[in-house]
Amino acid sequence: MSALLQLEKTTIRFGGLTAVSELDLQIGKSELVGLIGPNGAGKTTAFNLITGVYQPTSGEINFDGQSTVGCKPYQITKRGIARTFQNIRLFPSLTVFDNVRAVFHLHLRGDVRHALWRGKGYHAEEKSVADRVLELLEIFQLGRFRDEPAKSLSYGDQRRLEIVRALAAQPKLLLLDEPAAGMNATEKVELTRLIRFIKDKFQISILLVEHDMKLVMEICERIAVLDYGVKIAEGKPDEVRANPKVIAAYLGD
């Protein structure tokens, strides 16, 4: 069976620094994979390679049977990979509703002419978009904030909204970049529940980059460990936890 996402010997160099070196990684359909590693290990760089922000120096990235090398980020999103950011990047001046709505242009049948002519088809489509946005917001208990500007939300709600916005792209693969960063213990429990819920409800694959070991060990089915851009271990949470290389990387030898 072919994996949904497959990285083969993906490498990126910035001048003399090899940030990610010959990374092999597979993510299957509706699998929840964790990517961990100490600071500066290249986790976010790996993310940026998958989403097209960076182009690999060498190696291959396949998504859903096709290479994504050379594609722009927006094209990759259209093909089914959506992400969140380590430091939240919402559209701050847009309302909660519009933050999600802006993503729905991916699913529009009409284009600019539709918006300019404003015929029956346009209004029908806008109505259905509004319904779907609200439905999505309701699922994640953000409905009551629909008309608030995104920047006025609390930190936890902003995190949640960013995930909802990514889900609005209807991805096959969701990339979460340190979703627990800056959260307190209660919020982390909440987040764990949320990630599980998303996986069950939307039946999508998730790749999670995270520092918080407890969270990663608890929800990931498989974990890959990066250190200095090299994958040093991969396996089930328990296997990874017991791996001496991983312990050395985290605690120093």
Partner 1 sequence: MNFRHAKTFLLGAIALGFLASLFADRINPYWLFIFYDIGISIVMAVSLNLINGYTGQFSLGHAGFMAVGAYSSAVITNQFGDLSFLAANGIFAVALLAGGLAAALAGLLVGIPSLRLRGDYLAIVTLGFGEIIRVILQNMDKVGGARGLSVMHGWTNLFWTFGLAAVTVYVVASLVNSTYGRGFIAVRDDEVAAEAMGINTTKYKVTAFVVGAFFAGIAGGLYAHSKQFITPGGFGFMQSIAFVVMVILGGMGNTIGVILAAILLTLLPEGLRMLSGIEHLPGLTAERPLGWIGDTRMIIYSLLLIVLMLTRPQGLFSLKKSSVQK
* Distance of closest approach, residue 247 Cβ to partner 1, in angstroms: 34
Q: Which is nearer to partner 1, 155 or 250 (CB)?
A: 155
CB count within 10 Å of CB 43 equals 24
Least Cβ distance, residue 1 to partner 1 (angstroms): 28
Nearest to 167 by CA among 126, 189, 139: 139
Min dist. Cβ of residue 93 to partner 1 (A) = 6
Beta-bridge partners for 185: none
Q: Which is nearer to partner 1, 29 or 114 (CB)?
A: 114
**Nearer of residues 126 and 221 to partner 1, judged by Cβ:** 126
| Helix (H), strand (E) counts: the chain | 10, 10
Q: How far is the CB of 22 from partner 1 (least distance, A)?
A: 26
* Sheet (strand 66-67) strand order: 17-27, 5-14, 58-63, 66-67
Euclidean distance between CA atoms 137 and 145, whole angstroms = 9
**DSSP for 97-131?**
HHHHHHHGGGG-SS-HHHHHH--HHHHHHHHHHHH
User: Identity (one letter) of the amino acid at 37?
Assistant: G
Minimum CB distance to partner 1 smaller for 117 or for 250: 117
Residues found near partner 1 in the complex (CB under 8 A): 51, 53, 72-74, 77-78, 82-83, 85, 89-94, 98, 101-106, 108, 110-112, 114-116, 118, 122-123, 125-126, 129, 151, 165-166, 169
> How near is the Cβ of 135 to partner 1 at its closest, in Å?
15
Locate 45 and state its tokens.
């760089």
* β partners of residue 149: 95
Residue in 109, 19, 100, 108 with CA at minimum distance from that of residue 58:
19
Minimum Å gap between C-beta 131 and partner 1 is 12
Nearer to partner 1, 129 or 189 (CB): 129
Tell me whether residue 63 or residue 219 sits nearer to partner 1 (CB atom). 63
* DSSP-based three-state secondary structure for 230: strand
